[in-house]
Amino acid sequence: MTQVQDRRFVRDHLAGLQPRPDCSPDETESLKARVRELLAEKNAVMLAHYYTDPVLQALAEETGGCVADSLEMARFGAAHPAQTMVVAGVRFMGETASILSPEKTILMPDLEATCSLDLGCPEDEFAEFCDAHPDRTVVVYANTSAAVKARADWVVTSSCALDIVDELTANDEKIIWAPDKYLGSYIQKQTGADMLLWDSACIVHEEFKAKGVLDLKKVYPDAAVLVHPESPDAVVEVADVVGSTSQLIKAAASMSNKHYIVATDKAIFYKMQQLAGPDKVLLEAPTGGSGATCRSCAHCPWMALNSLQGVIDALEKGSGRVQVSDELRIEAAKPLQRMLDFTARMAAA
């Protein structure tokens, strides 16, 4: 595994964040009304990730946008006729929307919203790593900058990573994987692929603790444990279902258990509860216990930067506009398109 030894950049970035203050219920209603007006006036559509504030997710749905994982957000945005997209999520999602829809205006509520995986995979160091292993196919997770994607052969999301790596392995390809070491390790174990792993992690999923999950299971013995594979191996090992955000939501909807211990960002509960129904009980997997830092406490600090006021500022002033240079866009579009073509083939099979 290659090492990015100094994780101070993540701490420094977190220390510099300035989340907007909470609004009163009346203020929230008035901001929502303004967002509705602006979306209609600007012929814009709003895309919200499962980890954003449920108020934003509900508003995206209500106004004809989508609430989805990063792959579905990209697909939805590319197919939607609106010329302006507001992407409530983190920066790589805005960049992906811009790469796949270069003719459209892509706005984000807060351009400071990034991701520890993106921060943990600097373009220059990653290029050096790839250059040192020219015989390997470069597979990067969607949670990376446009520059890192431009260096890759494949982009994957957690919903299609296993299938793509499986196919590469069947073709005897050796792989460089970046940036999430836990997801990489999970895929390596599942597929037996020859993978060199970059060393970065999601600060939200890294915090879940297997012991905490098992302790909670003693209280709710019938609970199904749903785990995102960005979590450490020990947490994945105690899971009943391991999967992407969409796969975990589907699992909660289709399984018959009453209780679910969910090891991913708690904002997913909005969509999970909606689809699972009111009788199912969703429980947050614990992040406390020995070795806990609670840098995120199961909620992504960058996703939390997305706010109603940020959406209004983006639509009124054009702030938070995402721009990817033509040169980068053309290169980054190739591995992204490869992934979209692959998933379309899988869906058709």
Near ligand SF4 by CB under 6 A: residue from 66, 115, 315, 328? 115
Residue 67 near residue 48, CB atoms below 8 Å: yes
Q: Contact, 336 vs 160, CB < 8 A?
A: no
Q: Which is nearer to ligand SF4, 56 or 203 (CB)?
A: 203
200 binds ligand SF4 (CB under 6 A): no
Q: How far is the CB of 118 from ligand SF4 (least distance, A)?
A: 7
| Least gap, CB of 73 to ligand SF4 (angstroms) | 12
- The DSSP line for 102-137 is TTSEEE-S-TT---HHHHTS-HHHHHHHHHT-TTSE
Q: Which of 59, 117, 150, 168 binds ligand SF4 (CB under 6 A)?
A: 117
Residues 309/316, Cβ–Cβ less than 8 Å: no
List Cβ<8 Å contacts ≥24 apart for 181-190. Answer: 181/1, 182/206, 182/229, 182/230, 182/231, 182/232, 182/233, 182/236, 183/141, 183/158, 183/229, 183/230, 185/233, 186/229, 186/233, 186/236, 186/242, 187/161, 187/162, 187/229, 190/162
Question: Is residue 93 within the footprint of ligand SF4 (CB under 6 A)?
Answer: no
Q: Is there binding between residue 142 and ligand SF4 (CB under 6 A)?
A: no
The Cα–Cα gap between 237 and 190 comes to 12
Maximal C-alpha separation, the chain:
59
Q: Which of residues 263-302 bind ligand SF4 (CB under 6 A)?
A: 265, 300, 302
205-264 residues in contact with ligand SF4 (CB under 6 A) are: none
**Cα(204)–Cα(264) distance, rounded to whole angstroms?**
7
C-alpha to C-alpha distance for 75 and 85, rounded to whole angstroms: 12
- Asked whether position 87 contacts ligand SF4 by CB under 6 A, the answer is no
Selected binder of ligand SF4 within 56, 108, 195, 203 (CB under 6 A): 203
Instruction: Output the smallest distance, CB 166 to ligand SF4, in A.
Output: 22
178 sits near ligand SF4 (criterion: CB under 6 A): no
CB of 87 to ligand SF4, least distance (A): 13
Q: Which two tokens stand for residue 49?
A: 């990730």
Q: How far is CA 200 from the centre of its chain?
A: 15
- Binding string, 143-162, against ligand SF4, x = CB under 6 A? x-------------------
Task: Pick the piece of the chain touching ligand SF4 (CB under 6 A) from 28-36, 115-123, 267-275, 338-346.
Answer: 115-123
Specify the residue, 51 or 126, whose C-beta has the smaller distance to ligand SF4: 51
The reply on whether position 176 binds ligand SF4 by CB under 6 A is: no
**Least distance from ligand SF4 to the Cβ atom of residue 180, Å:** 7
Tokens of 287: 């992040």
Those residues with Cβ within 8 angstroms of residue 135's Cβ, 6 or more apart along the chain or in another chain: 174
Of 137 and 158, the one with the shorter C-beta distance to ligand SF4 is 158
- Compute and round to an integer the Cα radius of gyration of the chain: 20
Instruction: Decide if residue 68 touches ligand SF4 (CB under 6 A).
Output: no
- Considering the complex, what minimum distance in angstroms separates the CB of residue 295 from ligand SF4? 10
Give the range of 127-135, 199-207, 314-322, 337-345 binding ligand SF4 by CB under 6 A: 199-207
| Residues of this chain that bind ligand SF4 (CB under 6 A) | 51, 90, 115-117, 143, 202-204, 265, 300, 302-303
